[in-house]
Chain A
Amino acid sequence: MKVFLTAIILAFTGGALFVNLGSIPDSFLLSHTASRFYREAVVTETGALNTVSAILYDFRAFDSLGESTVIFATVSGIVLLLSRKTLPVSSAGLSLIVKRTFGILTPFVFLLSVYIILHGHLSPGGGFQGGVLLAVITIIFCIIYGSSFDLSRYPPQRKTLIETTGALLFLGVGIIGIALTGSFLGNPSAWRGVPGTLPSAGSIVPINLGVGLKVGAGLAIIFYSMIQKTLKRQ
């Protein structure tokens, strides 16, 4: 009976989704209004070559601000639920071979994440992807070296400081946009530079940096507060 009811509900939902798919406006409207505007105006109006990054952090930058607020709320909730006053006990980590190998590999992970964040306006990637790679470094420290190593190198207070710096950088770029162009998160034309070079694309680069710091530190705090009491060795 339960399976039958589930099947009926699934079939009904699938049918409703199919009907909605049929009522999408035809491709002429889609390809001749918004996407055509983005395709033609993205280099002249923002100076960025990566269209996705230009839409995320310039045309729709207010949405990205909302997304980073969502991440902030998630981090606050998880830390409120999970963090206790217990110190992490695990200091053992894995064997010496694994530790030395990750001693070679971890700087390259950091380099790749900084590259993805800073080249967000030129190549695929951006603040979010690079920030998640920054959070992966904390996971490496917690699992390979033990979470007391992570506590001694990057204590949670410093992670909170990094996250707040990212959020303030985002908001500060928005306020500078008010001062220079008259609108919140506007892209000042004096910063644009030559499209295709590294210091170009106006306010997209500092917004990428802010989102990267914020996402990286936020996800690192989430993982650290989850692993805190579990790595205890008997």
Chain B
Amino acid sequence: MIEMHLFISYALILLGCFFALSTTIGILRFPDLYTRIHAGAVALTMSALLITVGTAVYVWELFLSLKILLIGVFLLISNPMATHAIARVAYRHRIAIPVSRDLSSRQKFEEDNRHDSS
């Protein structure tokens, strides 16, 4: 029985490590700031959540597990919020221009900025 929950926790933590690795590869390989923070938002939240749940299963005491799960809930709230703030600031202050092949979204970006600055 004890072996069983250790096995589950190891599986969860390994899955979380896989998501963290894919986050790192995504941040290194994607061409643009927006796609990079997309990798940082989605996969990193998933990996942090999986690792906290795995740790909560690993310690297997009621109050300790609840505290660790609370950390996971805070990560679930705060990481997408930080990504949203970074993307919004980068778009509005023209720090990074989105790379795209079609001209319409590029023109829309220019129009938004002209509207902001005027």
Check A-B contact in the complex, CB < 8 A.
yes
Interface string of B62-85 (1 = CB under 8 A from A): 000000000000100110010011
Min distance, Cβ B100 to any Cβ of chain A, angstroms: 23
Kindly identify which residue among B77, B84, B85 contacts A104, using a CB–CB cutoff of 8 Å. Answer: B77
Residues of chain A contacted by B84 (CB below 8 angstroms): 95, 97-98
Within 8 A of B (CB), among A105-119: 105, 108
Q: Is the CB–CB distance between A94 and B78 below 8 Å? A: no
Q: Is the CB–CB distance between B77 and A101 below 8 Å? A: yes
Min distance, Cβ A101 to any Cβ of chain B, angstroms: 4
Q: Is the CB–CB distance between A101 and B81 below 8 Å? A: yes
* Dominant SS among interface residues on chain A: helix
Q: Is the CB–CB distance between B77 and A98 below 8 Å? A: no
- For the complex, count residues of B whose C-beta is within 8 A of A: 7
Q: Is the CB–CB distance between A95 and B77 below 8 Å? A: no
Q: Which of B74, B77, B78, B81 has most A Cβ within 10 Å?
A: B81
Q: Is the CB–CB distance between B77 and A105 below 8 Å? A: yes
Residues of chain A contacted by B77 (CB below 8 angstroms): 101, 104-105
Interface string of A87-104 (1 = CB under 8 A from B): 000000011011001101
Whether A101 contacts B74 in the complex (CB less than 8 A), given A94-B85, A95-B85, A95-B88, comes out as no
Bound together, the chains give a CA A105 to CA B74 distance in angstroms of 8
Identify 14 new A-B residue pairs, CB closer than 8 A, beyond the known A97-B84, A98-B81, A98-B85: A94-B88, A95-B84, A95-B85, A95-B88, A97-B81, A98-B84, A101-B77, A101-B81, A102-B81, A104-B77, A105-B74, A105-B77, A105-B78, A108-B74
12 pairs from A and B in contact (CB 8 Å cutoff) = A94-B85, A95-B85, A95-B88, A97-B81, A98-B85, A101-B77, A101-B78, A101-B81, A104-B77, A105-B77, A105-B78, A108-B74
